[in-house]
Structure 1
Amino acid sequence: MTGRPHIAIDAMGGDEGVRIMMAGVAQARRRHDGLRFSLFGDEARIRAALENHPNLKAASTIIHCDGIVDGSDKPSAALRKANSTSMGLAIRAVKSGEAGAAVSAGNTGALMAMAKVALRTMPGIDRPALAALLPTLGANDVVMLDLGANTECDSRNLVQFAVMGAAYARALMDLDRPRVRLLNIGTEELKGTDEIRDAAAILRAATTLKMQFDGFTEGDKIGSGETDVIVSDGFSGNVALKTAEGTARFVTDLLRRAFTSSVRSKIGFLISKPAMHLLKHHLDPNVHNGAVFLGLNGVVVKSHGSADATGVANAVHVAARLLEADITRRITDDMANVSAGVQAESLTQ
């Protein structure tokens, strides 16, 4: 993308309100000094919050709108009022070309529905997928998709997710050939559903792709750092994500109880405090905040509703990096390589 990235912000999304959203966007502005913003929402509340962030104020335009997408709104209800809500208007700014990306901490289902209707899917992509970075024991985080946008997927969808996930990993983690695997119930070639095995065959044949396809992985290896991109249907991906998040909370709560159970334990906590802070940082969802709907004609990033200012800043950072990397063009080029690779393979058989 040329020029300075312009990002539309749904200022009314999120559990913590406008103040936290503006604090996070201001933090991101300090990290990416060239960013410009369109801020959608209640003008009076946004202006009040911007008084504490003159650097952001100078780089932003406020677009007042009265409508808000509530957390309990069904996607169909949110769609009907898209043209009057901060979320809907932020997405419309991407459609019109005013902004290159939109960031919202609002209702996930509503955001997905609005983005898909307004932006449509890219050529060669049947369905958008929700992708996010998860922590690992390796040098890099792992990109995982789909995390809930599509509960049922065929082999074609899984191949498209792999292509989009690899492009995402190259953009955000500066990897030349990301290691890609399909989530499965085993690593043997005969394991899994027909859809998973067929997708693996297609990816093995598409040798011109900028990825290293390594076959299958199991759920217990998601955080191992052995792969850069893990691909699954949205049902399995969402279950795996929620299980990982629950396990992280379980571990931290268990350690908290253990370290407060006795005087000796409290002394042990003081000794191990630096390591505990490192663990807390590694598992903090704010550090990895910013899931993206890949496969649309425009970048839409979903922030956790409960994200703090640092979490919001990281979501904006994701949007900025994807714009700078021209993620839409990368995915389009890679999808063309998939088709070329499969056609070449069929001619040799």
Structure 2
Amino acid sequence: MSNNKPVIAVTLGDPGGIGPELIAKLFAENEVFADTHTVLIGDRWLWEEGQRVVGVKIDLPEVNSFAEVREHDTPVFLEMDTVDRANTGYALANEHGGASVLAVLARCIEAHKAGEVDGICFGPLNKYAMKLGGLGHEDELHWFVEKLGVTTFFSEFNTLGTLWTSRISSHVPLKEAHEYVTEERIISAATLLHDTLKKAGFDEPRVAVAGFNPHAGEGGTCGREEIDVIAPAVEKCQAQGYPIVGPFPADTVFLKARDGELDAVVTMFHDQGQIAIKMLGFDRGVTILGGLPLPVGSPAHGTAFDIAGENKANLTPTRNAFNLVKAMCAH
């Protein structure tokens, strides 16, 4: 037993989605938990339901608190009682499931504050259910930021492993996206992405910044954000010692990334990067909540209500998410 290994908390995700069955598949692969102290936290009945769907039976030693997790070199189970089976069901997004997700994640956050958790990997969530259950924010990242007291820049990252994206605005109406195109936000997003890549094991991250307008503004004839805001922000990044380049037209920068010329792209709004990265590798994508004091990751896909309970869910993104959180803990 080694107490130098990170403690990683794993959650089952929304009760109505594919999270429980994905986590059951994950815990059936013993080798993924090497060099960690891993704790699965959630409702017992939901964990048992995930195993039933997958057709496995996994006996995890039980602990009564996060403080006990470091005593075990194999995965353990920490039970919570957050939702009754009668109040949820497959493909059902409601306040009960959303409140359950928030209660489990809040327990993990408190454990981190107590020095008992080093990273979190959570099963797929449903934002609508979480909002019904008391989220109080546009997404889970902003909720984590409030709970953890983060005051510096934060951003959601999406990654295929060899390719990462960041964005300066996230879950906001597209008509408001231009309001977020500021030098400060671009510099913060680009430098945070570069620093996070270093933590994920990239020795010399290659980060590019996308333009905001079609064809990166076409020399100002199709918008001036690239000239007035984005290019100056890139120059200031370079002046700080960050080898960040751009702006590049958003419709071609991902061709460079696809061909291995870039490790990451900073995009100007949600779908600019999300469409590209999901087309390139939806079946292996991971979401990382960047700017938090600990690694927090999840598969990039959603709760997939249409196949929940059918044992059709692809484990690869969940496995990748856990492995990335583990790697970031190590750095």
Same fold (TM over 0.5): yes
Q: Which amino acid aligns with 2:262?
A: T
Alpha-carbon distance change, 133 to 116 in structure 1, aligned in 2, over 3 angstroms:
same
Q: Which residue of 1 aligns with 2:282?
A: 285
Give 1:66-215 correspondences, 5 Å limit.
66-67=82-83, 72=93, 81=99, 85-104=103-122, 105-108=124-127, 109-121=138-150, 125=152, 127-134=153-160, 141-146=162-167, 148=170, 151=177, 152-172=180-200, 174-184=201-211, 185=213, 186=216, 192-193=225-226, 194-207=228-241, 209=242, 212-215=243-246
Q: Which residue of 1 aligns with 2:275?
A: 243
Q: Which amino acid aligns with 2:125?
A: G
Matched, 1:310 2:307: no
CA distance in 2 between counterparts of 1:231 and 1:11 reads 30
Q: Which amino acid aligns with 1:20?
A: L
Q: Which amino acid aligns with 1:231?
A: V
Q: Which residue of 2 aligns with 1:62?
A: 78
Q: Does the 8 Å contact 1:5/1:323 carry over to 2? A: yes
CA distance in 1 between counterparts of 2:217 and 2:40 reads 47
Give secondary structure in 2 for the equivalent of 1:8: strand
Give secondary structure in 2 for the equivalent of 1:221: helix
Q: Give the TM-score normalised by structure 2.
A: 0.68
Alpha-carbon distance change, 169 to 297 in structure 1, aligned in 2, over 3 angstroms:
closer
Q: Does the 8 Å contact 1:5/1:36 carry over to 2? A: yes
CA distance in 2 between counterparts of 1:324 and 1:41 reads 25
Matched, 1:221 2:244: no
CA distance in 2 between counterparts of 1:99 and 1:297 reads 11
Alpha-carbon distance change, 215 to 110 in structure 1, aligned in 2, over 3 angstroms:
closer
Alpha-carbon distance change, 13 to 6 in structure 1, aligned in 2, over 3 angstroms:
farther
CA distance in 2 between counterparts of 1:13 and 1:286 reads 20
Q: Does the 8 Å contact 1:38/1:60 carry over to 2? A: yes
Q: Mark the runs of 5 or more structure 2 residues left unpaired by the alignment.
A: 63-73, 128-137, 305-312
> How many corresponding residue pairs?
268
- Structure 1 residue 26 displacement after superposition: 4.2
What are the superposed Cα offsets for residues 5-51 of structure 1, whole Å, 9 maximum, x if unpaired?
Answer: 21112213372142322212443x51341222222221233257566
Q: Which amino acid aligns with 1:293?
A: L
CA distance in 2 between counterparts of 1:189 and 1:175 reads 33
Q: Does the 8 Å contact 2:191/2:237 carry over to 1? A: no
Give secondary structure in 2 for the equivalent of 1:65: coil
Give secondary structure in 1 for the equivalent of 2:225: coil
How many percent identity over aligned positions?
A: 15
Q: Give the TM-score normalised by structure 1.
A: 0.65
Q: Does the 8 Å contact 2:298/2:322 carry over to 1? A: no
Q: Which residue of 1 aligns with 2:130?
A: none
Q: Which residue of 1 aligns with 2:9?
A: 8
- Structure 1 residue 116 displacement after superposition: 1.2
What are the superposed Cα offsets for residues 317-347 of structure 1, whole Å, 9 maximum, x if unpaired?
Answer: 111111111xxxxxxxxxxxxxxxxxxxxxx
Give secondary structure in 2 for the equivalent of 1:322: helix
CA RMSD in angstroms comes to: 3.5
- Structure 1 residue 115 displacement after superposition: 0.7
Q: Does the 8 Å contact 1:87/1:106 carry over to 2? A: no
